[in-house]
């Protein structure tokens, strides 16, 4: 038996040399887990802050362990046979013979009340698992924290998975630095480390957007943020942000006390890459062609081949998830997977030129089929499912388009894809769709049916932006090309949107004639959805021309056409147009009923553009009914939706809109009107739609009740309770069967309403309410 000098007393925890930023919820959760669990493994990708979290928690619980808290850093250990000796050395047990065994170490800690922190265990999992299984059996008062990219997989293990630091939503533009940056852990960490690197660094109105971009681009990964912050010694935030795509050259550090793998982002990821099996490495590189998240079917269709068959693919996916290289998100109806951007870019760097092109092409072809399936099923009952799918795949559809339009021999395919995606563009991506279509049309100028289609799709989007003259010009060219190629479908669409343009331009007679013609053309082609839309626009044109009977006939026929093909989008348009007609006829109750039905359908479709149109007209109804404060809040919600979609309200109804605005200002006054509009803009989509539908109380938009207690919606109270339980946004999303993004938005709204800056404050607030 090795000779020993037993010195298990006190601890060997290093002092913190820099401030600990964020992670309050995770620290609290780890401490809570240690109360009942004897082994907790903190998992997460390299650089996410596992070690720092474990050490902070260890510092906070050290008084609970009479025999101390002991750190065992295993990063430099090369062999599993040395693990037991390393633990003994950390505990101060002298080992002159080098023959420590798990049994002998167990004898020394058997009666001790101590906490072991085994750090950097990724490369020694089997040896550590065997040692801990023995120690935990023989030492009943022993507690252990392990940090590793993946769990040990032994009995009694509890796992705390941590992700990157919190960030502003990717689709939310950052506000001024005084508005809410303190809510986000990633930004706080960058600010703290930036001030340490450069005493002159401060966030200003000039550079805050660059700071937010840096933190978003680096996915909130702590090590990457700290490396980026050191560059403030020589670069401004704007200069760092402009170079962030070359992150592996940019992000190298000068801290020579840090392990070699932590001195650059590339070295850190290379270390993780080398720990993977050959199958996992190949899969890591191939999955890097995806953008954002993806599902298993998309991954399989893109990466499986003779070198990586299905069995190896499934095994590799499991391995990458276990190693925290790929995160698994429990969404419905199927799980989705995601790589952080830095991990993705490292994977791409390991995919050679021809091989990368081949997998990018397979990725593009898969998402071309997704877009084609959406378009093909659009005139049927699956619209909601198809739109949900295309929304989930937005980043991958964008990546597929970007790839195609960046390759000279793929430009024509890019043009076809951009045009095929028209249902997707209408679902809140009007501005982005226009940008891609403009680029494609400039690149592919040869007349063809595909170009004719891209022209009418681009013209359609122009109309939602109010560009009538530009749309008319494109539609004329589209019709000409379609005639030259004897393309009946292209001709019908060109005529249909010429009628729409005439309607927006207040030329009621021309609009009626063209919409009637388009309805007949589409009917002969079996385009049920387009028949519905043409008849509906014809009906509105007849109404605006004063032909009431013909208007009602057209709208009735439009609804019948929609019901015949069991689709929802066109039916929602019919209800919206009937709402406008009822409003003009002075039937406010009838108008509200039609508009709310339209909004319900749009909500199911997740059609933000359609929601904006519905809420805008509901504003008129509320104003005419003297519900001025409600109308102003609806107006604020509508304005938020317009900003989200990049579209504008229809110009042919602008007179009613302007009259509504004047009436509201006259009734409320400018200051009260602005305040109510701001309340509406803050509601968020779920609460805003509920408010517009009248299914929530009038108090929802207010931040306080009369006695000053903050008001949360039922859903927000439910989520606040789950935050108090210590659940992450991902866990909340899984519990409530909502998207993680929706859960994050709810939590942020709760923080804003309560005036808090941390989840711990929410937990305290919930506890106080229970006590009261």
CATH number of 714-771: 1.10.10.10
Please state, in angstroms and rounded to a whole number, the distance separating the CA atoms of residues 414 and 557.
37
Question: How far from chain centre, in Å, is Cα 427?
Answer: 16
SS3 (DSSP) at 147? strand
DSSP 418-479: HHHTHHHHHTT-HHHHHHHHHHHHHH--S--HHHHHHHHHHHHHHHHTT-HHHHHHHHHHHH
pLDDT tens-digit readout, 39-68: 999 998 888 888 889 999 999 998 889 888
- What per-residue confidence (pLDDT) applies to 188? 85
Contacts for 196 with CB less than 8 Å, ≥ 6 apart: 18, 229
DSSP 542-587: HHHTT-HHHHHHHHHHHHHHHHHTT-SHHHHHHHHHHHHHHHHTT-
Average pLDDT, stretch 717-741?
80
Reported as type and span, the H/E element at residue 250 is helix 247-250
- What per-residue confidence (pLDDT) applies to 57? 92
What count of other Cβ atoms lies within 10 Å of the Cβ of residue 386? 22
Residue 121 scores a pLDDT above 70: yes
pLDDT tens-digit readout, 592-624: 999 999 999 998 888 888 999 999 999 999 999
Q: In what order do the strands lie in the sheet with 115-119?
A: 69-73, 115-119, 143-148, 39-43, 157-161
DSSP 3-55: -------S--PPPPSS---S-HHHHHHHHHHHHH-SEEEEE--TTSSHHHHHH
What count of other Cβ atoms lies within 10 Å of the Cβ of residue 58? 24
Instruction: Enumerate helices (H) and strands (E) in the chain, giving the number of each.
Output: 38, 8
- What per-residue confidence (pLDDT) applies to 205? 77
pLDDT band with cut points at 50, 70 and 90 for residue 175: low
Asked if residues 444 and 462 have their Cβ atoms less than 8 Å apart, the reply is no
pLDDT tens-digit readout, 436-464: 999 999 999 999 999 999 999 999 999 99
SS3 (DSSP) at 710? strand
How many Å is the maximal CA-CA distance in the chain?
104
The packing angle between helices 341-349 and 265-275, to 10°, is: 70
CA atoms within 13 A on the CB side of 244: 24
Q: Which of 559, 554, 522 is nearest to 538 (CA)?
A: 554
Please state, in angstroms and rounded to a whole number, the distance separating the CA atoms of residues 571 and 564.
11
C-alpha gyration radius of the chain: 30
* Average pLDDT, rounded, for the chain: 86
- What per-residue confidence (pLDDT) applies to 751? 72
- What per-residue confidence (pLDDT) applies to 244? 79
HEC string of 134-200?
HHHHHCCCCEEEEEECCCCCCCCEEEEECCCCCCCCCCCCCCCCCCCHHHCHHHHHHHHHHHHHCCC
What does DSSP say about strands 157-161 and 293-295: parallel, antiparallel, or unpaired?
A: unpaired
Q: Which of 85, 77, 82, 69 is nearest to 145 (CA)?
A: 69
Please give the backbone phi and psi of residue 630, each rounded to the nearest 5 degrees, phi first: -60, -45
What count of other Cβ atoms lies within 10 Å of the Cβ of residue 529? 19
In this prediction the pTM is: 0.74
Q: What is the token pair recorded at 407?
A: 């390759």
Q: In what order do the strands lie in the sheet with 336-338?
A: 293-295, 336-338, 327-329
Residue 173 scores a pLDDT above 60: no
Please give the backbone phi and psi of residue 593, each rounded to the nearest 5 degrees, phi first: -60, -45
Please give the backbone phi and psi of residue 765, each rounded to the nearest 5 degrees, phi first: -60, -45
pLDDT band with cut points at 50, 70 and 90 for residue 770: low
pLDDT band with cut points at 50, 70 and 90 for residue 181: low
The residue count for the chain: 772
- What per-residue confidence (pLDDT) applies to 732? 85
pLDDT band with cut points at 50, 70 and 90 for residue 323: confident
- What per-residue confidence (pLDDT) applies to 170? 59
Contacts for 478 with CB less than 8 Å, ≥ 6 apart: 452, 453, 455, 456, 459, 490, 493, 494
pLDDT band with cut points at 50, 70 and 90 for residue 708: very low
- What per-residue confidence (pLDDT) applies to 710? 46
59-63 — which CB contacts under 8 Å span 24+ positions? 59/13, 59/16, 60/27, 60/31, 61/31, 61/34, 61/115, 62/11, 62/13, 62/115
SS3 (DSSP) at 75? coil
Q: What is the token pair recorded at 389?
A: 């799918």
pLDDT tens-digit readout, 631-661: 999 999 999 898 888 788 888 888 888 899 9
Asked if residues 289 and 360 have their Cβ atoms less than 8 Å apart, the reply is yes
pLDDT band with cut points at 50, 70 and 90 for residue 705: very low
pLDDT tens-digit readout, 133-146: 989 999 999 999 99
SS3 (DSSP) at 256? coil
Q: What is the token pair recorded at 752?
A: 């804003």
SS3 (DSSP) at 73? strand
Handedness of CA 324, 330, 332, 335 (dihedral sign): positive
Residue 258 scores a pLDDT above 60: no
**What is the DSSP-derived secondary structure letter of residue 153?**
-
- What per-residue confidence (pLDDT) applies to 427? 84
The packing angle between helices 50-61 and 24-36, to 10°, is: 60
CA atoms within 13 A on the CB side of 576: 25
Please give the backbone phi and psi of residue 161, each rounded to the nearest 5 degrees, phi first: -90, 130
pLDDT tens-digit readout, 271-288: 788 889 999 999 999 999
CB contact burial 348-379 (16+ within 10 A = b; e otherwise): bbbbeeeebeebbbbbbebbbebbeebbebbb
- What per-residue confidence (pLDDT) applies to 557? 96
Q: Which of 528, 558, 567, 563 is nearest to 540 (CA)?
A: 558
Q: What architecture (CATH level 2) is domain 24-161?
A: 3-Layer(aba) Sandwich (3.40)
Q: What is the token pair recorded at 92?
A: 């101060």
Asked if residues 452 and 490 have their Cβ atoms less than 8 Å apart, the reply is yes
Q: What residue has token string 């960490």?
A: 189
Percent pLDDT > 70 in the chain is 89
pLDDT tens-digit readout, 657-685: 889 999 999 999 989 999 999 989 888 88
Reported as type and span, the H/E element at residue 327 is strand 327-329
SS3 (DSSP) at 101? coil
Residue 217 vs residue 414, higher pLDDT: 414
End-to-end CA, the chain: 61
What does DSSP say about strands 336-338 and 327-329: parallel, antiparallel, or unpaired?
A: antiparallel
- What per-residue confidence (pLDDT) applies to 143? 94
Q: What is the token pair recorded at 537?
A: 């626009």
């Amino acid at each position: 038996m090795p000779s020993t000098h037993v010195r298990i007393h006190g601890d060997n925890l290093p002092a913190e040399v820099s401030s600990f930023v964020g992670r309050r919820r995770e620290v609290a959760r780890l401490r809570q887990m240690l109360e009942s669990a004897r082994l907790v493994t903190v998992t997460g990708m390299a650089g996410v802050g596992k070690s720092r979290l474990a050490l902070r928690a260890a510092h906070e619980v050290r008084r609970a362990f009479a025999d101390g808290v002991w750190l065992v850093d295993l990063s430099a250990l090369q062999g599993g046979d040395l693990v037991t000796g390393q633990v003994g050395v950390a505990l101060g047990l002298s080992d002159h013979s080098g023959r420590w065994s798990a049994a002998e170490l167990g004898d020394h800690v058997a009666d001790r009340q101590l906490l072991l922190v085994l750090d950097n265990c990724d490369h020694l999992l089997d040896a550590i698992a065997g040692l801990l299984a023995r120690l935990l059996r023989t030492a009943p008062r022993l507690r252990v924290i392990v940090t590793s990219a993946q769990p040990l997989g032994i009995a009694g293990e509890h796992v705390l998975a941590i992700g990157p630091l919190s960030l502003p939503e990717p689709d939310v533009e950052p506000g001024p630095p005084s508005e809410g940056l303190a809510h986000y852990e990633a930004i706080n960490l960058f600010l703290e480390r930036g001030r340490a690197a450069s005493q002159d660094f401060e966030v200003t109105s000039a550079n805050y957007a660059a700071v937010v971009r840096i933190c978003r681009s680096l996915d909130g990964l702590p090590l990457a943020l700290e490396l980026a912050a050191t560059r403030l010694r020589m670069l401004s935030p704007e200069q760092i942000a402009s170079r962030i795509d070359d992150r592996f050259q940019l992000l190298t550090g000068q801290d020579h006390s840090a392990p070699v793998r932590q001195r650059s982002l590339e070295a850190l990821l290379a270390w993780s890459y080398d720990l993977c099996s050959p199958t996992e490495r190949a899969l890591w590189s191939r999955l890097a062609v995806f953008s954002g998240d993806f599902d298993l079917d998309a991954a399989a269709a893109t990466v499986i081949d003779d070198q990586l068959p299905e069995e190896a693919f499934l095994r590799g996916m499991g391995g990458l998830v276990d190693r925290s290289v790929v995160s698994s998100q429990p969404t419905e109806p199927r799980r989705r997977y995601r790589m952080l951007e830095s991990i993705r870019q490292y994977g791409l760097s390991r995919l050679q030129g021809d091989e990368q092109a081949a997998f990018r092409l397979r990725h593009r072809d898969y998402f071309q089929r997704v877009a084609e399936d959406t378009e093909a099923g659009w005139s049927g009952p699956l619209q909601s499912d198809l739109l949900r799918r295309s929304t989930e795949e937005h980043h991958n559809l964008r990546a597929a388009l970007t790839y195609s339009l960046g390759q000279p021999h793929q430009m024509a395919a890019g043009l076809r894809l951009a045009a095929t995606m028209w249902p997707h563009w209408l679902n809140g991506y009007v501005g982005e769709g226009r940008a891609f279509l403009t680029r494609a049309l400039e690149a592919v100028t040869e007349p063809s049916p595909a170009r004719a289609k891209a022209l009418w799709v681009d013209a359609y989007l122009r109309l939602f932006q109010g560009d009538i003259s530009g749309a008319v010009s494109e539609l004329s060219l589209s019709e000409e090309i379609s005639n030259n190629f004897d393309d009946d479908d292209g001709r019908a669409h060109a005529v249909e949107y010429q009628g729409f343009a005439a309607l927006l331009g207040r030329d009621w007679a021309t609009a009626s004639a063209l919409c009637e013609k388009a309805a007949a053309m589409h009917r002969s082609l079996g385009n049920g959805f387009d028949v519905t839309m043409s008849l509906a626009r014809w009906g509105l044109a007849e109404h605006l021309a004063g032909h009431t009977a013909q208007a009602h006939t057209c709208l009735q026929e439009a609804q019948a056409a929609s019901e015949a093909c069991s689709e929802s989008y066109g039916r929602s348009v019919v209800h919206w147009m009937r709402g406008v007609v009822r409003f003009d006829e002075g039937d406010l109750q009838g108008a509200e009923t039609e508009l709310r039905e339209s909004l319900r359908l749009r909500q199911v479709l997740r059609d933000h553009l359609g929601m904006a149109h519905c809420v805008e007209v509901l504003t008129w109804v509320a104003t005419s009914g003297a519900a001025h404060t409600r109308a102003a809040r609806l107006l604020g919600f509508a304005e938020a939706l317009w900003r989200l979609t990049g579209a504008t309200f229809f110009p042919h109804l602008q007179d009613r809109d302007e009259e509504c605005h004047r009436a509201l200002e006259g009734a409320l006054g400018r200051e009260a009107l602005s305040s109510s509009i701001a309340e509406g803009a803050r509601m968020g989509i779920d609460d805003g739609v509920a408010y517009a539908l009248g299914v929530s109380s009038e108090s929802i938009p207010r931040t306080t009740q009369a006695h000053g207690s903050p008001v949360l919606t039922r859903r927000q109270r439910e989520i606040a309770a789950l935050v108090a339980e210590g659940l992450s946004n991902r866990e909340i999303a899984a519990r409530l069967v909502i998207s993680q993004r929706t859960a994050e938005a709810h939590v942020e709204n709760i923080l804003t309403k309560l005036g808090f800056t941390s989840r711990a404050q929410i937990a305290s607030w919930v506890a106080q309410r229970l006590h009261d």
